[in-house]
Structure 1
């Protein structure tokens, strides 16, 4: 179980995508995140332009786009852009990385959800500076990563895998804002994984701990799940996968 196995693997790789889809099929994470984001949108003073930075398959793009006049989706992965365009055909797609994107006009909301996992932390300052530069006065940048207190992050730590969390991004905000006034707040949105059996739990665990390509690795993770996963009477497991949001409101 080596974090390099996933971190060096393109997220569009078929195996990674299979495991990721299994994860999504057994969690309420996306629905809970969507509901929170809709509340955020409703509280914005203006709803004109929305930028989804690292839009992926377009789930959140499609959920939020109807609230805005214009939606811009930044997505460099060609394998994901097809699903993105199908999910939200009205979005203007920029097929480049965040660091190379030229957003056409200032945005009222910039969302960057679960993207920073795939960005080397040495490159976070430049990414945050770019994201903040796209936000109009009174607008908001929303960063999302898994909460460090979740069962999934605890599992990663147990197996020696370092999972990026939002503390690192929050510490960079002053420099990224380059003197621009802002206010920041955190929000934790509970979410859970409900895994009906051990085989499913092991498959989904690969997203957390990396590929389980040996009987020994599968046995070790199975033992961890039996000890730490909240078992249910049917023989399945439950793990928290709470999401942490960093809301950055640009005041000027």
Structure 2
């Protein structure tokens, strides 16, 4: 990820919040295989366990997820461990990456640049977005007969379900909201069968970076044009984008005083 200084988010705490608010991340691996693609990616909802937001601490936290055993990426990871003679719950020898993209994000038309476009026309389209990128070591739980794998998967599917039910759906059972769905609502035998069809992935976060690209590089006049342009869309997405552009612009302006 290109982290231009004006866009880079240097607060690990802020990047952790981005991940927690946008838990669907793209896991990318590059694993030599005779049967699968070398580079593979999968969308996975993750649970973040925070250890420290100190940039000097070597391990910042852990990401916990799972994927279908039949996923080609899962097969490549299992084959890689087997080829190295490593058992289940062992770390991959290859580094992995997880990319999180925040909502909202949006195309920015040159028509929004109300200061530069009329004066020089030296403007081009772009896209405003925020993202966090994690690198680390992945431990793979794939032995369905192992107690360790079973316990990991039980905790994982419980935690990710509760995260999504409460934080995303708002099902807390409080103030008139619905109760959250719980793993225990399904038959135990059914859950046991489902667990056999997935593998667990636990990533130790060794490096994290990210950015908020929200028109900070533009002049104040153009930023005001972008804010007005997004607000003029008359949509929730437009209003959210306008708020982010304003917030990030004010942060940049404060550093220049």
Query: By percentage of residues, which structure has more helix?
Result: 1
Structure with larger Rg: 2
TM interval, shorter chain, is under 0.3
**TM-score, normalising length from structure 1?**
0.24
**TM-score, normalising length from structure 2?**
0.24
